Amino acid sequence: MNLIIKKVLNKLEDKGFEAYVVGGYVRDTLLGIKSTDVDICTSALPKDIIQIFNTSGNHINYGSIALSDGKYNFDITTYRKEHNYDDRSPGKVEYVDDLLTDLKRRDFTINTLCMDSSGNIIDLLNGKEDLEKKFIKVVGDTSLKLKEDPLRMLRAIRFSVILEFDLDPEIVKVINTDKHLIKSLSYTRRMEELNKIFASKNALVGLKILKELNLLEQLEINYDKIVPVNDVLGFWAQIKYSENYNFTKSSREVIKSIRKIVSSGEITNEVLFNYELYISMVAGQILGYDNKTISKMHADLKIKSVKDLNICSKDIFKILDIKPSSLVKDILKDITKNVLDGNLENNYEDIKNYILKKWK
């Protein structure tokens, strides 16, 4: 048991409350996966947790208190039972005093495993067996659980993809009959799950599963051929998606740039000059280039910025005896291309003679 986590559990136990690490951290620990997000379930009420950890009520969300020590992010939740789901949220939360009732409200059996302050595993719903069998199984009534929160359909697929686990046929059955409920999910939630799949080494498997389960229409995405890349936006650049997906302005620009480079069909010196190296590398992966080749091309560029040219706008005004105009921008672009292509040496006299010959 990690000493920092043990200390948090002990604080609750010292006040007479039960407390266990639950869910993802325990699951990942047993699988040998490092995690810094720690969920703790406890018999302590929110007011008790606030008092014990001397925190404000501003951190409360559905009876959960969020804490962080800089290394671990803790989410401490009172044992509870949830009733009357509406729009993915329980209409009523009832605090209870036993662990099993709390575990029964959770999504998948592999996420019901608990760990006490001594590092012992508590397994009340056969989660360890499913973990060993590499099996994603819903806690309780599969149909009810997936219908009350359709995000669980995507979470099941995501866990299956990332952990390389099999889906319970009952999950597949419910997805096949009730996949239309996925359209009720916000685009933000859809994107979060898709991003986690795209960030996985098994991203192509995930996309194949989504297609086989006929979920592309529900997710409002489509694709023909996908080349695996080590960047989430690189996947989005190869996918047709609804404009309702909430990308940031900068992310949209990255996707647009990757698509533009890919449509050109090659990585040239001009591409490397005009775009960030990272964007060029992602586009290069899609086009079949290896990163070492692109890195060398970038390192060998004769100039990496217009500022590297041994001539400036004022020089051009003087050489051509003209006033400032948009023509200068065209001239600089022409000079830049020729220097990058090796057709023109980057020295003042050669560039001056080139300007006089072509632009006078």
Stated pTM of the model? 0.89
Per-residue pLDDT at 69? 86
pLDDT tens-digit readout, 14-25: 999 999 999 999
Q: Is the pLDDT of residue 60 over 80?
A: no
Q: Which domains does the chain have, with CATH numbers?
A: 1-133 (3.30.460.10), 135-221 (1.10.110.30), 223-301 (no CATH), 305-360 (1.10.246.80)
Residues 6+ apart with CB under 8 A from 47: none
For residue 296, the Cα-to-chain-centroid distance in whole angstroms is: 29
pLDDT tens-digit readout, 253-275: 999 999 999 999 999 999 999 99
Q: How many residues does the chain have?
A: 360
pLDDT averaged over the chain? 94
Question: What crossing angle do the helices spanning 203-212 and 187-198 adopt, rounded to 10°?
Answer: 130
Q: Report residue 59's pLDDT band, with 50, 70 and 90 as the boundaries.
A: low
> How far apart are alpha carbons 97 and 217 in whole angstroms?
43
Q: Report residue 55's pLDDT band, with 50, 70 and 90 as the boundaries.
A: confident
Q: Is the pLDDT of residue 166 over 70?
A: yes
Write out the DSSP string of 209-242. HHHHTT-HHHHTEE-S-----S-HHHHHTTSEE-
Over range 8-15, report the average pLDDT.
97
Q: Is the pLDDT of residue 61 over 80?
A: no
